[in-house]
Chain A
Amino acid sequence: MSTSFEKYQKRRLISSYFSVVISIALVLFLLGMLGLLVLNTKKVADHFKEQIALTVYFKDSAKEVEMEELKKSLAMADYTKSTTFVSKEDAAEAHSKEIGEDFMEFLGYNPLQNSIDVYMNADYVSAEQVDEIAAELTGKNFVDEVIYDKPLISLLNDNVKKISFWVLIASGIFTFIAVLLINSSIRLSVYSKRFIIKTMQMVGATKGFIRRPFIWQSVKLGIIGAILALIGMAAFLYYLDNSFPELDLAGDIKILAALFIGVFLTGILITWLSTFFATSRFLNLKTDELYY
């Protein structure tokens, strides 16, 4: 009988849901990728920071015990990630190999010193903290000098700060746009039912009762959108991880899980809030104001 018309209506409904789901999915996907970027700027920055070494040169007069002692105490320190002891013989050998001739032949002695390379944890790699560590080490009477690339450290930190700042700004703007976008698609779908909402109020339904099915409907769309976004993110991660295994993107499962859960909850939260406010808008209007 009336089936063709009902089918048409249903199709219209589905296509309007479809656009909401797609915009939610897209926005959450991009938000998720941004989250991934934020998580990984730290990882990449830390990776670089932990390449930076502080070299402690011992005086020739330093005793074996003293050097052993320092090695141990360094290994115990919070800021140490790893240390390597380079004896003067090893250094000479490496140096000879580098310049391609045995310089000790014509010098007649080994001018190089025993040293320790200290690789620090990323959190300690800032100009001030490295200065402090160096000063402490220099203060020991068997240490000749402590050498590190101070400009490099400042440069690295400045750039990390700059990049993090912009990534954060971008995330902020992006989240804002995301919320606006989802909000306006939801507003549109609620707007199309404004007279129905008003009628529901006329027959004695409370605001909460009217709002509930609207919220549930949007949250369902939010969940579908979020799932699509997560599938997209997983696929993208899988591809990246295959193409660039050295980045170790999938390394920290816990953080990754937190990101996925976060994206999922954001999808629910945004749709919930948007629907809440969109329905409130019409619930609080007087009947004639609907026509304006």
Chain B
Amino acid sequence: MSETILDLKNAAIYQRESLILSEVDVTVNKGEFVYLIGKTGTGKSSFMKTLYGDLPLTEGEGTIVDYNLRTLKEKDIPYLRRKLGVVFQDFKLLTDRNIKDNLLFVLKATGWKDQKAMDHKIDEVLDKVGMKSKGFKFPYQLSGGEQQRVAIARALLNDPELILADEPTGNLDPQTSVEVMEVLQDISKNGNTILMATHDYALLLKYPSKTLKCDGQRVFEVVQKSV
């Protein structure tokens, strides 16, 4: 049960020419729940972006769900992203269509054909995040927290091998944060792997787990007590 899902060796992460993180050595095994913490601007989102192919990895080694990040070709990126469920810090919902159609787009784009199965899947994930009754609304008609939940629901659609969640509780009140966390914990218990960037230290205390910290252009594992 220690199949490696994500493995970075001596990787460096750049935003344009400026170095954000260097000498990154990170291994995540299947089924793990991993926090990524760090102050604002330390490079958590940049780290995530490298993992889903939005920033190229130009130094070091990196493999994620069987894709080599160094040799990743542009045409492979869509297929890598299908194996990942990404919850973006800024949600990235399609603003020109309602929630149901947002989710429907993802399913169709990733090769689903059966309308009934798609409807069923959409209901299922919306139910998980408690948004089942709002499927007809447009993104601009939802509060920030509601959009965030939809973004999580979208990440769950294809039962991804690895979920990358960039501050999935960033816009939620403490109680809703806990609800969303429960959802992620459930998913994690089902054997999914989750990497979650967060500022929310209360959650770390409530749901302790392996924790990585970004600081001073480095990523290192921290022991919970010293957080």
Q: Which residues of the other chain, A, contact B106 by a CB distance below 8 angstroms? A: 203-205
Contact with A along B93-111 (1 / 0, CB 8 A): 1111000000001101110
Sort chain A's interface into a size bin: 10 to 19
Q: Cβ of B94 and Cβ of A200 under 8 Å apart?
A: yes
Contact with B along A202-227 (1 / 0, CB 8 A): 11111101100000000000000000
Contact of A199 among B77, B92, B108, B158 (CB under 8 A): B92
Q: Cβ of A287 and Cβ of B54 under 8 Å apart?
A: yes
Q: Cβ of B109 and Cβ of A206 under 8 Å apart?
A: yes
The verdict on A204 contacting B110 (CB below 8 Å), with A2-B138, A2-B141, A287-B54 known, is yes
Q: Which residues of the other chain, B, contact A2 by a CB distance below 8 angstroms? A: 137-138, 141
Contact with B along A221-239 (1 / 0, CB 8 A): 0000000000000000000
Q: Which residues of the other chain, A, contact B138 by a CB distance below 8 angstroms? A: 2, 6
Q: Cβ of B96 and Cβ of A196 under 8 Å apart?
A: yes
The verdict on A209 contacting B95 (CB below 8 Å), with A202-B88, A203-B154 known, is no
Q: Cβ of A196 and Cβ of B109 under 8 Å apart?
A: no
Whether, in the assembled complex, A201 has its beta carbon less than 8 Å from a beta carbon of chain B, the answer is yes
B78-86, B117-125, B215-223: which one contacts chain A? B78-86
Q: Which residues of the other chain, B, contact A205 by a CB distance below 8 angstroms? A: 78, 105-106, 109-110
Q: Cβ of A200 and Cβ of B54 under 8 Å apart?
A: no
Contact of B78 among A193, A196, A201 (CB under 8 A): A201
- CA of A6 to CA of B98, assembled, Å: 11
Q: A189 CB to closest chain B CB, in angstroms?
A: 12
Q: Cβ of B109 and Cβ of A200 under 8 Å apart?
A: yes
Q: Which residues B34-84 have CB closer than 8 A to chain A? A: 52, 54, 75, 77-79, 81-82
Q: Cβ of A204 and Cβ of B109 under 8 Å apart?
A: yes
Q: Which residues of the other chain, B, contact A204 by a CB distance below 8 angstroms? A: 78-79, 81-82, 106, 109-110, 158
Contact of B94 among A199, A206, A209 (CB under 8 A): A199
Q: Which of A6, A193, A196, A210 has the most CB of B within 10 A?
A: A196
- CA of A203 to CA of B158, assembled, Å: 11
- CA of A2 to CA of B138, assembled, Å: 10
- CA of A257 to CA of B109, assembled, Å: 40
Q: Which residues of the other chain, A, contact B52 by a CB distance below 8 angstroms? A: 202
The verdict on A196 contacting B94 (CB below 8 Å), with A202-B81, A203-B154 known, is yes
Q: Cβ of A199 and Cβ of B109 under 8 Å apart?
A: no
- CA of A193 to CA of B95, assembled, Å: 10
Q: Cβ of A193 and Cβ of B96 under 8 Å apart?
A: yes
- CA of A199 to CA of B81, assembled, Å: 12
Contact with B along A1-17 (1 / 0, CB 8 A): 01000100000000000
Q: B160 CB to closest chain A CB, in angstroms?
A: 10
- CA of A204 to CA of B108, assembled, Å: 10
List the B residue with the shortest CB-CB distance to A13: B96
Binding site for A on B (CB under 8 A): 52, 54, 75, 77-79, 81-82, 86, 88, 92-96, 105-106, 108-110, 137-138, 141, 154, 158
Query: Known contacts A196-B96, A204-B109; can you find 4 more A-B pairs with CB under 8 A?
Result: A199-B92, A203-B106, A203-B109, A204-B82
